[in-house]
Each structure stands twice: as C-alpha cells, then as structure tokens.
Amino acid sequence: MKALETGAVKPPSVGIKITEATEADLCAAQKTCPSKTLELENMIAYMKASNVPQPEPGPLRVEIVNASELQKDTVVTLRRDESGKLTAATAIKV
C-alpha cells in the first residue's frame, strides 16, 4: 500500500475501446452464441435495410496451427468476403 502512495508502484490500468458492431462481428457472434441467432439476424437485417456503410475490414490475425508442415518457401494467401469474413486460404510453394 505504501508503494502505491509513494508512486513507486502504479496500479494496473486497462484501456477499453467500444465501437459499433460490423456485419462481420454479428455473423461471428451467431457462431459463438447460437441461442441469440434470431436476435442477431434481426440486427443484421436492420443494418442492411438502413444502408449503414460498413467500415473497411481491419487487419486479420491468422494463426497457422500446422506451421511445421509448411516449407520455408511457401506463401499463404488469404481471401475475405465483403463483410470481412475469411473465405479462403491457399498455400503455394514457390
């Protein structure tokens, strides 16, 4: 406690940024929470009907779970649909 008072130790802090859900976010939520599918479908339908412009998809984090099976001279290409959802991944040996 004394360390906090003197400033020698600072309490941990967490930054939270809340943004509007995109269509891709709502589609992902359907998979993780099937009990809310109807509610999420209604939100997606409302979003489409109101012509809310969708932001450009941000960076996509991909983890290759079988990386040891890929050769060092292999290039992986990822494709996304218009909502930002990963639709294909192709590994090509160069």
pTM: 0.40
Question: What is the rounded distance in angstroms from the CA atom of residue 77 to the CA atom of residue 36?
Answer: 33
Q: Is the pLDDT of residue 89 over 70?
A: yes
Question: What is the rounded distance in angstroms from the CA atom of residue 74 to the CA atom of residue 12?
Answer: 42
What is residue 93's predicted lDDT score, i.e. its pLDDT? 81
Question: What is the rounded distance in angstroms from the CA atom of residue 28 to the CA atom of residue 47?
Answer: 15
Residue range 58-72: average pLDDT?
A: 76
Q: How confident is the model at residue 87 (pLDDT cuts 50, 70, 90)?
A: confident
What is residue 42's predicted lDDT score, i.e. its pLDDT? 92
Strand 86-93 and strand 74-80: the pairing is antiparallel
Q: How confident is the model at residue 57 (pLDDT cuts 50, 70, 90)?
A: low
Q: Which residue intervals of the chain are DSSP H helices?
A: 2-6, 23-32, 37-49
